[in-house]
Amino acid sequence: MSARSTKEQVTKLTMFLGFAALGLPILILALFADFYYFWMNNFRSNLKKIIIEKKKSTLTSTSIKDIVNLSNKYAE
């Protein structure tokens, strides 16, 4: 019983050390990359190109009622 728990403890310790050695540096590098891209996209000069302009909707309450009535007609 203790041999199995010792083996499990060694496995868990190995996984933890592997994560600490590989996972944390990758996490930190990805975090800095995200900061860089966020910063560059927020303060670029051609920001106007990606802003979506508002358009006046052509949908009216009458057209919604017509669609509801038409769908009820075909549902029956």
The band of 1, judged by pLDDT with boundaries at 50, 70 and 90, is low
The pLDDT value recorded for residue 56 is: 85
The band of 17, judged by pLDDT with boundaries at 50, 70 and 90, is very high
The pLDDT value recorded for residue 48 is: 64
In angstroms, how far is CA 67 from the centroid of its own chain? 34
pLDDT 10s digits, 26-76? 999 999 999 998 888 777 776 666 667 788 888 888 989 999 999 998 887
CA distance 74 to 70: 6
Q: Domain-by-domain residue ranges, the chain?
A: 2-75
CA distance 20 to 26: 10
In angstroms, how far is CA 55 from the centroid of its own chain? 27
